[in-house]
Amino acid sequence: MREDMLRYDLHCHSTRSDGLLEPAAVVRRAAERGVTVLALTDHDDTAGLAEARCAADEAGIALVPGAELSVSWEEHTIHVVALGIDANDAALQAGLESVRAGRDARARRIAAALERVGIHGALEGARSYVTSERLITRTHFARFLVETGRVREMKDVFKRYLARGLPGYVPHAWASLEQAIGWIRGAGGQAVLAHPGRYPLGTGGMRQLVAEFRDRGGAAIEVLSASHGAAQVAQFAALARLHGLKASAGSDYHGPGESWLDLGDLPQLPGGSVPVWQGW
Ligand code: AMP
Ligand code: MN
Ligand code: MN
Ligand code: MN
């Protein structure tokens, strides 16, 4: 297909992490919506890729094997999207498993923190939303808090609970940036700094993060994201150019009714951006 006919969405989730749709359903929805190149990027896991691959072959679209890795950088949690990884790579799998392994104890600490503000049964409640026994996320707690009427909408959960400085937030040590980029590159993939507009960093902190990300072997910045308004798109496109990084595009779709953008709902990259898919 001609390059200008391709539509990329390089960030989304299935039930193998905190999405609402099965991997095959994510792929079918993407194809119906005109996506021609889709990366499934579940949190800290590649378990959905085999099913997604079959569905993509059936739907006639390209599937880019991916994942979204949780990273601790300074005192911040950063997400790094992996694109084009060999999911059979042993070091990558061991790394992902080590990151997932911390999630159960963290969930117990989240539940204990919610208990302290009078919210009971959050661990069992969150677990009732878990769709992969391999991992539990804050999204599952958020669904429980919405269901029990504590909060009206998912996005409000993170304004009142679960985010830094709020009840229900607990610090956690994820992978280091060096480890995450190392696992991704070792598995033949490209590392993308996910939704930088979400990180509460000033201009100096952001430059430091991006410079360190590039120096450790990162390939691209996610310029187009549900988390970014027009000004941020321009800002991160410029930052990518400044640091010699490519630009990526992903909806971060999690499921019907829960996401800012649907699959493929992405504009063109700003002029002057080098797409992460250049050379694929
Ligand atoms: P965790 O990896 O367990 O920390 O969970 C992170 C997930 O929580 C993200 O991938 C999002 O799906 C969800 N999340 C975090 N912040 C927000 C927010 N402000 N609004 C909606 N969902 C959020
Ligand atoms: Mn998520
Ligand atoms: Mn993320
Ligand atoms: Mn995501």
Does the C-beta of 251 come closer than 6 Å to ligand 1?
no
Q: Is the CB of 79 under 6 A from ligand 1?
A: no
Beta strands 37-40 and 8-9 are parallel
Token couple for 162: 């679960």
Say how many C-beta atoms besides its own lie within 10 A of residue 150's C-beta.
18
- Best CA proximity match to 20, nearest among 134, 140, 138: 140
Q: How far apart are CA 62 and CA 192, in angstroms?
A: 19
Which class for 204: exposed (0-12), middle (13-18), buried (19 or more C-beta within 10 A)? exposed
Q: Model pTM greater than 0.95?
A: yes
Running DSSP on this structure, what letter comes out for residue 57?
A: H
Ligand 1 atom 14, closest CA:
139
Nearest-angstrom CA–CA distance, 92 and 46: 10
**Angstrom distances, CA of residue 209 to CA of 21, 50, 133, 227, 240:** 33, 33, 33, 18, 12
Give the number of the ligand closest to the Cα of residue 16. 2
236-273 per-position pLDDT tens digit? 999 999 999 999 999 999 999 998 899 999 999 999 99
Domains and CATH numbers, the chain: 3-100+172-249 (3.20.20.140), 103-162 (1.10.150.650)
- What's the pLDDT at 5? 85
Residues 64-86: what's their mean pLDDT? 98
pLDDT at residue 43, rounded to an integer:
98
Question: Are 280 and 165 within 8 A, CB to CB?
Answer: no
140 to 126, 129, 136, 152: CA distances (angstroms): 5, 6, 7, 15
What are the backbone dihedrals phi and psi of residue 157, each rounded to the nearest 5 degrees, phi first? -55, -45
Share of the chain above pLDDT 70, in %: 100
Q: What is the pLDDT of residue 4?
A: 76
Residue to substitute in 137, 164, 174 for testing ligand 1 pocket (most ligand atoms within 8 angstroms of CB): 137
Give 139 Cα–ligand 2 centroid separation in angstroms. Answer: 6
The whole-number average pLDDT for the span 2-20 is 93
Q: Whose CA is nearest to atom 6 of ligand 1?
A: 138
**pLDDT tens digits, one per residue of 169-217:** 999 999 999 999 999 999 999 999 999 999 999 999 999 999 999 999 9
Q: State if residue 190 touches ligand 1 by the CB under 6 angstroms criterion.
A: no
Determine if ligand 1 sits within 6 Å of the CB of residue 253: no
Q: Are strands 76-83 and 190-193 parallel, antiparallel or unpaired?
A: antiparallel
